[in-house]
Chain A
Amino acid sequence: MTTMPAPGDRQGLVADSVGDALPDDPAPILAFEGTSKAFFGIDALRDVTFSVARGHILGLIGENGAGKSTLMNILGGVVQADSGRVLLDGLEHQPRDPGEATAVGIAFIHQELNLFTNLTVAENLFIGGFPRIGRRIPLIDRRGMSRSARAALKSVNLDVSPDTLVESLTPGERQLVEIAKALHLNSRLIIFDEPTTSLTVREAERLFDIIERLRSEGRSMVYISHILADVRRLCDELVVLRDGKVVATGPKEEFPVRTMIAAMVGRDIELLHPPRTSLPTTEPALEVRDLSQPGVVKGISFVLHRGEVLGLFGLMGSGRSELARILFGLDPYDTGEIVLDGERYESGDPRRSIERGLSFVTENRREEGLLLDVTITENLGLVALPRFGHTLLRFVDQDRLRQGAAEIAQSLRIRGGSLGKAPVKSLSGGNQQKVVVGKWLMAKPKVFILDEPTRGVDVGAKVEIYSIINDLAAQGAATLVISSELEELLGTCDRIIVMAQGQIQREFTRGEFQEDAILHAAFREEAVPT
C-alpha cells in the first residue's frame, strides 16, 4: 500500500506548486465587476469584484448562504445579475441560460453530476454535438466518436471503454468523465463546486493530481469547497465571501486555515468543538451483537449507552453507512441481534424503529431526508406527525404542530424565512440540515443515528450542530455519529469505533484518541503503532 495522506494533514503534503504556474497573462480569464443580486429584496450578492488569473486556480470559500452559489449561477446562466458585469476573456459575459454558458467555454463540475447515466461515456462527451457520418446524413459516426472519446479519457487517466454505460461507473470515475467532457469541449474555465463530497480518499487524490496537471497545462479553474485543507493545497489565490460580499482576497500564502475560518465567519472560532458538558452513563440504550450481512458487514458488536456520543469512523466504502441503515431497519441482516432498551428487535421496518425511539439523519439529505418544496414547519412535523393527531379524529392539530415546530426551530436556531411559508429548498445547506435534525427531535428519540451530519455545511452551522449533539447527550439520548471527518469525531465523541471492510477494527475511548492510530485502523494497515 502506498502512503495515503490523511484528510487532516493534506496541507503538509502541498508541494511547492506555485513555482511552476505559468507566467501571468495580464488579462484575467474571468472578472466580476460590481456584481450584485437580490432575491425578493434580500441581497444575495453586494458589489462583488474579483478576478481569476489565467492559468491559476482560484479558491472560493464562504459559509453556506454567503453567496457562492448565486455567484456561480450568474456565471452559469441560471440567474441574471441585477447590476455589475462579468468579463470572460475581456468580453462581457451575460448568458441567458446554462446552454449558453457551456457554449462559451465554462464547465461546471458539481457534486451532483450532469451526466446521463443511461448513455455511454462517449455519448456523454458528445451529447452537445455528435459527429456525423456525412454532413447531410443525420447518423452518428460511432467509430469516430469512440476514437475521440478514448483520447479524452486518456487525458484524465481513466481506463474504461468509451462504450461503458455511465451508470456502471463509480462516483469518482463519473467525475473524471465530467472533467474529460470539459477538456473535450475545450472549456476555458472549469468550476469545481464541492467536487470531493462523494469521493473516496483515493479518488480525491486522483482528482487533485489531475487538477494540478491541468493547471500546469495552463487551464484556469475555480475551486469551491468547505474542506479548507484541500483549498489551501490546490489554489493559488483565495476569495472569501461573507453575506454576499467579498471580505478577503489574496494569495494562498496569506491564508492559513485559521485565517480562512476567521474571514468566513467574521470572528475567530476558538472552540470549533464545544466541550462535552455531560458524562455518558453505563446504561445500555442500543446493543448490537455479532451482526452480519453477507457482502456488507461482519461480526459487528458494540454497546451504545445513554448520554453517550459514539463516533463511527471509516473511509468511504467501509460499511459505516450500511451499518446505520441496518440498525434503523432499512436493510436486512442475516445473523446476530439488535437490542434496544433491553428488548431484542427485528429489523426491516423503519416505522417500528421510529416508534421504538430510533432516529436516523441520513447522509443524503436532499434525497432521503427532506421534502424540498414543502414548508419548514411541515418538514419538521414529518416524523412526529402521529403525535400531533387530534384526540378524536386524528386530524393533524395544526396549532400544536406550529407551536412545536416553532420551539424546535428556535432551539436549533433555524434561520431563513417564515416557518410556515418558506419551502425548505430556499434555506442554506446548514439550515436544511438543522431542519433534518429538528424533525427527528420532535419525535423525542432515545437513540440518534447521525450519518455525516455536517456534510456540505459551513463552519458556523457545524459548530451549532456540534452543540446540538452535545445537548442531546446531556438530555440522556444515545447518539451514534458517523463521519468521514476524523477531526469532527475527535471533537464531539466520548468513544470512537473504527470500521473497515465491513468489520469493526478497533475501539478508542476519549482518553486514548490518537489521530494516526485511528487512521491506521481505518486504512487497515498491518502494523498499528500505538
Chain B
Amino acid sequence: MIPRTREGAQVLALRSAPFILFAVFFLLFGLLQPKFISPATFTNIVTQASYIGIMAVGMTFVLLIAGIDLSVGSVMYLSATVGGGWLLASGMPIPIAVAGALLVGLAVGTLNAFLITRIGVIAFLATLATLVVVRGLALTITQSESITFPDEITRLGSTRILGLIPAPIVIFASVVIVGHVVLTRTPFGRQVYAVGNDKESAKKAGINVGLVVAVVYIVCGLLASLGGIVNVVQLGSVHPSFGDAVEFQVIAACVLGGVSLFGGRGSVFPGAVIGALFVPMINAGLQAIDVEIYLRAPAFAVVIFIAVLVDSLRNRQLAKLSRRYIRVENPSLEHGNAA
C-alpha cells in the first residue's frame, strides 16, 4: 500500500510506530555499543522474549475481541505444577507431562470461556477469579515449595534445532506463524476482528459470537500453558511465585505492539511480536551500554514511558487525521470526493 498523499504517509508512519520505535532504540544501543548489534544479542533477546511472546499471541486474540485474560500467569504456574510437580515426579515420560500441562491451559481457558459466555460474568472479573483460584489450587498441590526439574528438561531448553536455533525460538516462531495465519487468512480470524469491532453487527451478520469469544479464551489459556512450559524449560526450577504478575507483562507487550484494549485493532505479527521483544531488548541494551545496575530500573522506566507516550501521541494524531476537513487550503491536495 503506497500512500498517495502526505497525510497518507503520515498515517502509515504512525501506524508502524511500534516497529519504528523498536528499530530506533535498537540502533541507538548499537551506536553506543557496536557489539550490541550481533546475531548473538539478537538470538538472546528473542530467546528471552519467547515465553512472554507466546502468551502475547494468545492475549492478542483475547484483546482483539475487546476482552481480557488476567489468569495467564496462574495458568503458567498450575501447568508447571501439574506437568512437573505431579506427572514428572510420579515417573511419567516427558510427552505425557507436556500434554498434562497443556491440558491445564485448555481447562482453565474453557472455564473462563464458560464463565464469560454462558454465565455472563464480565471478562475482567471472571479471569480475576480464575487467577486467584488457579494459583490457590497450584499452591495447594506444591505446598508452596519449589519444584526442581530433572536435567533432561533443562537440556531441552538449550537444544538447538538444526544445531542453530534455540528450541524456545522455534516454538515462539511457530506459534507466531500459526497465530498470524489464523488471524489474517482464516474465516475464524476475520470473525475475531469483526466481533471486536461491533458485537451487535457481528450477531446480525450471522456470526456465532459466543463461539468466537469462547474459542479465543481457550486459545489464550492453551498458549499460556505453552508459555509456562517454555519458561520452565529455560529455568529448570519453579518457585511458588512463578508466573506471578506475568499477565501484566503479557498485556503490556500487546499494548506496546499496538494491540488496542478496546478491541478490533492489532496484530500478532508485527504487533504482539515487537511488543514482546521490546522489554528484553531494552534490558539487553542497558546491560550492553553498561548502565549501572541501580540506574537500570529508572532508565527502563523512561524508555517504556517514551514508548507509551509515542503510542498515545500516535492515537491522538490518527484521530486528528481522520477528522473531517472542510476547506482545502492547498487545492492540489483535493481528494476525489467532491467530484
A209 CB to closest chain B CB, in angstroms? 16
* Alpha-carbon distance A127/B185, docked complex (angstroms): 13
Task: Out of A118, A295, A317, name the residue touching B329 (CB < 8 Å).
Answer: A295
* Alpha-carbon distance A319/B196, docked complex (angstroms): 32
- Is the beta-carbon distance between B190 and A140 smaller than 8 angstroms? yes
Residues in A whose Cβ lies below 8 Å from that of B328 = 295, 501
Residues in B whose Cβ lies below 8 Å from that of A119 = 190, 193-194, 197
Residues in A whose Cβ lies below 8 Å from that of B186 = 138-140
Kindly state whether residue A452 has any CB partner on chain B within 8 Å.
no
* Alpha-carbon distance A318/B324, docked complex (angstroms): 11
- Is the beta-carbon distance between B324 and A99 smaller than 8 angstroms? no
Q: What is the interface size of chain B, counting residues whose CB is below 8 A from a CB of the partner? A: 29
Kindly state whether residue B206 has any CB partner on chain A within 8 Å.
yes
Q: Which of B185-206 contact A (CB under 8 A)?
A: 185-188, 190-191, 193-194, 196-198, 201-206
Kindly state whether residue B296 has any CB partner on chain A within 8 Å.
no
- Is the beta-carbon distance between A99 and B203 smaller than 8 angstroms? yes
Kindly state whether residue A294 has any CB partner on chain B within 8 Å.
yes
Residues in A whose Cβ lies below 8 Å from that of B204 = 98-99, 102, 108, 114
- Is the beta-carbon distance between A128 and B206 smaller than 8 angstroms? yes
Kindly state whether residue A180 has any CB partner on chain B within 8 Å.
no
Kindly state whether residue A170 has any CB partner on chain B within 8 Å.
yes
* Alpha-carbon distance A46/B267, docked complex (angstroms): 51
A315-350 interface bits toward B, Cβ cutoff 8 Å, 1 = contact, 0 = none: 001110010000000000000000000000000000
A194 CB to closest chain B CB, in angstroms? 17
Kindly state whether residue A210 has any CB partner on chain B within 8 Å.
no
Beta-carbon nearest neighbor of A131 in chain B: B187
Q: A297-B327, A322-B324 are in contact. Are A116 and B206 (CB under 8 A)?
A: no
Q: Which of A281-332 contact B (CB under 8 A)?
A: 294-298, 317-319, 322
B73 CB to closest chain A CB, in angstroms? 29
Beta-carbon nearest neighbor of A168 in chain B: B322
Q: Which of B81-114 contact A (CB under 8 A)?
A: none
Residues in A whose Cβ lies below 8 Å from that of B326 = 295-297, 317-319, 322, 501-502
Kindly state whether residue B207 has any CB partner on chain A within 8 Å.
yes
Q: What is the interface size of chain A, counting residues whose CB is below 8 A from a CB of the partner? A: 36
Beta-carbon nearest neighbor of A101 in chain B: B204
- Is the beta-carbon distance between B187 and A132 smaller than 8 angstroms? yes
Q: A116-B193, A116-B198 are in contact. Are A102 and B188 (CB under 8 A)?
A: no
- Is the beta-carbon distance between A118 and B203 smaller than 8 angstroms? no
Kindly state whether residue B294 has any CB partner on chain A within 8 Å.
no
Q: Which of A86-110 contact B (CB under 8 A)?
A: 97-99, 102-103, 108
Most buried by A among B197, B203, B324, B326: B326
- Is the beta-carbon distance between B327 and A114 smaller than 8 angstroms? no
- Is the beta-carbon distance between A317 and B205 smaller than 8 angstroms? no
* Alpha-carbon distance A132/B264, docked complex (angstroms): 23
Q: A97-B203, A116-B197, A127-B205 are in contact. Are A296 and B190 (CB under 8 A)?
A: no
Beta-carbon nearest neighbor of B194 in chain A: A116
- Is the beta-carbon distance between B327 and A123 smaller than 8 angstroms? no
Most buried by A among B196, B197, B327, B337: B327
Beta-carbon nearest neighbor of A294 in chain B: B329
- Is the beta-carbon distance between A123 and B197 smaller than 8 angstroms? no
- Is the beta-carbon distance between B203 and A98 smaller than 8 angstroms? yes
Q: Which of B148-203 contact A (CB under 8 A)?
A: 181, 185-188, 190-191, 193-194, 196-198, 201-203
Task: Out of B193, B197, B206, B329, name the residue touching A102 (CB < 8 Å).
Answer: B206
Residues in B whose Cβ lies below 8 Å from that of A296 = 325-327
A-B pairs, 8 with minimum CB distance? A99-B206, A502-B327, A319-B326, A98-B204, A114-B201, A130-B187, A116-B197, A502-B326
State the B residues within 8 Å of A (CB): 181, 185-188, 190-191, 193-194, 196-198, 201-207, 264-265, 322, 324-329, 337
Q: A98-B204, A102-B205, A119-B194 are in contact. List 16 more A-B contacts (CB 8 A).
A: A99-B203, A102-B206, A103-B206, A114-B205, A118-B264, A119-B197, A123-B190, A132-B187, A138-B186, A139-B181, A167-B322, A294-B327, A295-B327, A322-B324, A501-B326, A502-B326
> Could you list 14 examples of A-B contacts with CB < 8 Å?
A99-B203, A99-B204, A108-B204, A114-B205, A116-B194, A118-B197, A119-B194, A128-B205, A167-B322, A294-B327, A296-B325, A319-B326, A501-B327, A501-B328
